[in-house]
Amino acid sequence: MLDKTSDIPLILQGAPDTTEFRKLRKRIIRETRAVLDQYGMVEPGARWLVCLSGGKDSYTLLAALIELKWRGLLPVELLACNLDQGQPGFPATVLPEFLTRMQIPHRIEYRDTYSIVMDKVPAGRTYCALCSRLRRGNLYRIAREEGCSAVVLGHHRDDLLETFFMNLLHGGRLATMPPKLVNEDGDLFVYRPLAFVSEEDCDRFARAMGYPIIPCDLCGSQDGLQRMQVKALLNDWEKRMPGRRNIMFRALMNIRPSHMPDPELFDFLSLATASNPGPDPKTPLDLDAM
């Protein structure tokens, strides 16, 4: 067990000494490492900005990365970062005190994006788009100032699934948040190492470890959000058909371009059989003659 090792990082100490928790922790570490390896995220000597909101997901992310680093499986430098966005009632001392107590290198940045969001978003509209855009811009700036090559986020498997259905049902496209991408300016990676980890596992892990979880009172205070509706839909499917989330997520990683009707995704014009070479893709069809 981890606690029996003398040099264990402070953030990993005090773990429940149960078989159930050991299985949970090993599963999270295994799935996180699988994402890092499968998507080629690890560059030895790199410096990562690990974004910490104070929610269960970001605590799980930080703990998993620190354990992998401690085990010699993640040869990168980690800098935890919290962006205090000026939300009224936000417990601004919780994260600095926690990170200091855990002896984790960190940076706390204050930017009052809350006031901007409340001023710019009309009544009845959701805050998420503008709030996340402002947060992302500040995190990119901080990463550059700190010499980091990647911004690391705590989005998990269920976030990716919900985003897929948001795009499907409301955006008219098949897309989600990829585990790895390059920002629009082309100078930073964005990583999501928890892409294979379930939200339930993040919640169980963070609560079992007793981390000081801070709820999001800005987005979470709004009723009728499309994402909450999608979450409820997925929860209902999972309740009626256990294991459905895993199957749907596997589908996101098992796409067959030739079985989708997007002509930009697959070259249907070049399809041919032995007896029928197909039309010349350079010759337009005469629709009037049909």
Residue 131, marked binder: yes
**Residue 220, helix vs strand vs coil:** helix
Distance of CA 148 to the CA centre of its chain: 18
- Distance of CA 208 to CAs 16, 175, 177, 212, Å? 7, 33, 28, 11
Residue 148, marked binder: no
Cα–Cα distance measured from residue 168 to residue 172, given in angstroms and rounded to the nearest whole number = 5
Helices within 149-219 (DSSP H only): 157-166, 199-209
Residue 128, marked binder: yes
Any idea of the CA torsion for 144, 87, 134, 76, to the nearest 10 degrees?
Answer: 30
Q: What are phi and psi of 45, to 5 degrees?
A: 90, -5
Annotated binding site: 128, 131, 219
Annotated binding site for [4Fe-4S] cluster: 128, 131, 219
